Amino acid sequence: MDKEDRLNQQIALFYFAYKTFVETADRLIGKYGITRTHHRILFFVAHSPGVKMNELLTLLEVSKQALHQPLLELKEKGYITMEPSAKDKRVRCVFLTEAGAAIEAELGEAQRRQMAAALSASDDPDGKVWTHILEQYAKERPGLAFFK
């Protein structure tokens, strides 16, 4: 197999792996009446409690308009709260409620188990090579700075 064929095979595998990864969460989010967008919000808020709205926009790489409706829906379902910043009352910060944290924990645990199983079956059980590859893909994403 030449280099181009190997890269094409790896691209296909990456696509199929992504599909499998998101299906894990998709099976669970349906029972809560939320979408992948809601799940991404819950994930980032869980791992950055008190994230400011502008930071959340950067993490998700969406417009205010695109974020407005999903945030409103999560708030109405009782999964998040939005509170003024202690430093600047004009700035709103987002937090998970207990219910939101429970949903995010369930979704996250399923995906962590899946990731851990794939890594443990590889020659890279700690995921160092995988992490390096992901960092190379993500290095230009503005939200990456929040997780380094």
Domain spans, the chain: 3-146
Give tens-digit pLDDT for 82-112. 999 888 999 999 999 999 999 999 999 999 9
pLDDT for residue 125 is more than 70? yes
Instruction: Name the CATH code of domain 3-146 (choices 1.10.10.10, 3.30.470.20, 1.20.58.1910, 3.30.9.100).
Output: 1.10.10.10
CA-based nearest residue to 71, from 63, 85, 19, 108: 63
Task: Note whether 55 and 144 are within 8 A (CB).
Answer: no
Alpha carbons 103 and 38: distance in angstroms, whole number: 11
SS3 for 58-76, per residue?
A: HHHCCCHHHHHHHHHHHHH
pLDDT value at position 147? 76
CA angle (70, 72, 75) in 5-degree steps: 110
Instruction: Calculate mean pLDDT across residues 117-141.
Output: 94
